[in-house]
Structure 1
Amino acid sequence: MDPRRVLMFRVVARTGSLSAAARELGTTQSAVSQQLRQLEREAGGPLLLRTARGTQLTEAGASLLGHADVMHGALHLAGEELGALAQRHSGVVRLASFPSGVATLVPPAVRSLRADHPGVGVSLVETEPPEAWASVLAGETDVALVFGYDGPPDDDGSLSWAPLGVEPIHLVIPPGTAPTELDTPWLAEQDWVAGCARCRQHLVSCCHGAGFEPRLLHESDDYVAVQNLVAHGFGVTVLPQLALSAFRHPDVEVRRSTLFGERHVGMVHRRGAEAVPVIRALMERLQVCARGLLGASAAGS
């Protein structure tokens, strides 16, 4: 298979249509269509199905897209490494991070990187761990800050994991409303402020493990808004340490509760990415910032 056609196919698959791919590639739709037909002949069957709304991957196309992403990521890393070798610390590192990581770990790390290496730039996307992980796999991101509850994220071996630390998850309540010793019956009686259906899964699982169904009345993924709701008596919630480091409402009470476990924070990247000087430089500064924010839990990362 011609690797140039494979990379062109990746653009078609990622943009969702021949016309969008042609615009991104700076060519015509007919040229893209011709190259795609040739690639399908080389592949021995259709890779995309044309629909009224664009294109849809066949089973063979989905398989090839994974290989195309690997190829795209490898070429990007090669370009970054060669550019860095030519000019040492220069280039752009593409970083993805969950929101509280953006608010706490990223700013001092990037500031330190720019102070030491003015030629290095960082492009940042705020996104949740599953999407950040996928963006590294797709070759769209160099490093992603992610987390897993009570252990590192499930890993199929496709990416390298670099731990940064472990942070506790705290119970956040209106001041003066809870008994000195929190117990399950009290928690079961409370209204809860929680995140979206996916983000609240850990909270719900912990409550089920304690033997009760949380009464989820309010939904927000914004840790500032969540604390404001708690401060005004809408209910109780749980937040990780980094979220509370980024913003701590003066009118809430924070209690440590082993019921809700911990978050394991780390970085994922493609194997070999750490050899690129600009990527390694950012990762090293994120490790330093994690030691400051997560304390001893980041030791050995």
Structure 2
Amino acid sequence: MDPRLLRTLISVARWESFSGAAEELGYTQSAVSQQIAALEAELGLPLLRRRPVRLTEAGARLLEHAGPLLLRIEAARADVRRAAAAPAHRLTIAASPLAVTPSVAGRLARARAAQPRLHVELKTAGRDGAATEVAAGRAELGLADGITAPSDPLRLPDTGPMTALGIAEEELVVALPPDHPLAGRSGLRLADLADAAWLQTSSCPLERLRQLVGDGFRHGLAYAGDDVHTVLNLVRAGHGLTLLPASVGEGVPLLGPRLVHRVELLHGALPGGPAAQVRDALAARPEAG
């Protein structure tokens, strides 16, 4: 299956328009139409209804596979290039918003001090985005964080061969408005808060809480950003509760169930050199925080 045709299908589905896809991809509208027709001929099924432009059931199923397939192809290219690349003195790290805990930041500082000529760029990506950036070769290392049971790995997208190593775990706190009746407690259990309104955030998705704990966790406000100060301001204003790593510093300790904030270091094949040395420094000694 031609990756170029899959990219065209994704673009048409996103725009719900052949002309919109043509403009995005730099093709003529007739070229887009021909590529979709070629894909439909290969599969022997209609993938799109034309007026208006909508995915058929078969098209929707193919679209579910298209993104992961293209990512795996991109990851394979990047993995081969990494294996043959000469060590460089530039390093890009893709990190999800709460992955750079004090412990991780300290280890990164020690790694940089040991390699003063190394230029490091740290860029923010979502948890899944950190894995995608590494798989696609746009970052040598990734740092992904999430809520999980102690020592349980994070659920990351399938991006092909990639090492994911837990490098930090810390306790969680429940962030509450200052005037909340439970704000003065020495500890809280999630079962006591299942009927409360909760923020929907990338760092504390409600579906993950329901998977780990059970039903409840009423939807409050959805925040699609990644700034922790905004999250805390929303909590203080009463838009909903959330869970945060204890190092953030505001909240009541979570007593049960036993959950932690986990950080994982992600990387593909790395040639010996600066990137591998930073990896070793970050992975050196898992510790709280």
Question: Is 1:224 the equivalent of 2:225?
Answer: no
Given that residues 193 and 220 in structure 1 are in contact (C-alpha distance below 8 angstroms), is that contact kept between their aligned partners in structure 2? no
Provide structure 2 residue ranges, at least 5 long, that are not aligned to the other structure. none
More helix by share: 1
Question: Is 1:265 the equivalent of 2:262?
Answer: yes
Distance 1:122 1:30 in 2: 42
What TM-score do the two structures reach when normalised by structure 1?
A: 0.59
The one-letter amino acid paired with 1:263 is V
Deviations 1:63-95 (A, max 9, x none): 366256424542454256437735543788583
Given that residues 169 and 262 in structure 1 are in contact (C-alpha distance below 8 angstroms), is that contact kept between their aligned partners in structure 2? yes
Q: Who is 2:146 aligned against?
A: 147
Trace 1:39-118 onto structure 2 (pairs within 5 A).
39-52=39-52, 54-56=53-55, 58-59=57-58, 62-63=61-62, 66=65, 69-79=68-78, 81-82=80-81, 85-89=84-88, 95=94, 97=96, 99-101=97-99, 109=108, 112=112, 116-118=117-119
Distance 2:228 2:11 in 1: 36
Distance 1:235 1:32 in 2: 45
The one-letter amino acid paired with 1:153 is L
Q: Who is 1:166 aligned against?
A: 169
Distance 1:15 1:91 in 2: 37
Distance 1:17 1:296 in 2: 51
Provide structure 1 residue ranges, at least 5 long, that are not aligned to the other structure. none
Q: Who is 2:205 aligned against?
A: 199
Distance 2:12 2:174 in 1: 46
Structure 1 residues 33 and 262, CA, compared in 2 at 3 Å: closer, same or farther? same
The one-letter amino acid paired with 1:24 is E
Question: Is 1:178 the equivalent of 2:175?
Answer: no
Distance 2:81 2:144 in 1: 25
Structure 1 residues 91 and 75, CA, compared in 2 at 3 Å: closer, same or farther? farther
Q: Who is 1:24 aligned against?
A: 24
SS in structure 1 of the partner of residue 200 of structure 2: coil
Deviations 1:124-153 (A, max 9, x none): 43x3x4x54895799697646142421333
Distance 1:121 1:227 in 2: 27
SS in structure 2 of the partner of residue 178 of structure 1: coil
Structure 1 residues 169 and 49, CA, compared in 2 at 3 Å: closer, same or farther? same
The one-letter amino acid paired with 1:59 is A
Residue 31 of structure 1 deviates from its aligned partner by: 0.9
SS in structure 2 of the partner of residue 195 of structure 1: strand
SS in structure 1 of the partner of residue 169 of structure 2: strand
The one-letter amino acid paired with 1:256 is P
SS in structure 2 of the partner of residue 21 of structure 1: helix
Distance 1:12 1:107 in 2: 45
What TM-score do the two structures reach when normalised by structure 2?
A: 0.61
SS in structure 2 of the partner of residue 100 of structure 1: coil
The one-letter amino acid paired with 1:100 is L
Question: Is 1:274 the equivalent of 2:272?
Answer: no
SS in structure 2 of the partner of residue 258 of structure 1: strand
Deviations 1:191-220 (A, max 9, x none): 9673128734566788879xxx88x79757
Question: Is 1:240 the equivalent of 2:245?
Answer: yes
Same amino acid, percent of matched pairs: 22
Distance 1:199 1:29 in 2: 39
The one-letter amino acid paired with 1:166 is E
Residue 28 of structure 1 deviates from its aligned partner by: 0.8
Residue 22 of structure 1 deviates from its aligned partner by: 2.0
Given that residues 86 and 271 in structure 2 are in contact (C-alpha distance below 8 angstroms), is that contact kept between their aligned partners in structure 1? no
Q: Who is 1:36 aligned against?
A: 36
Q: Who is 2:287 aligned against?
A: 296
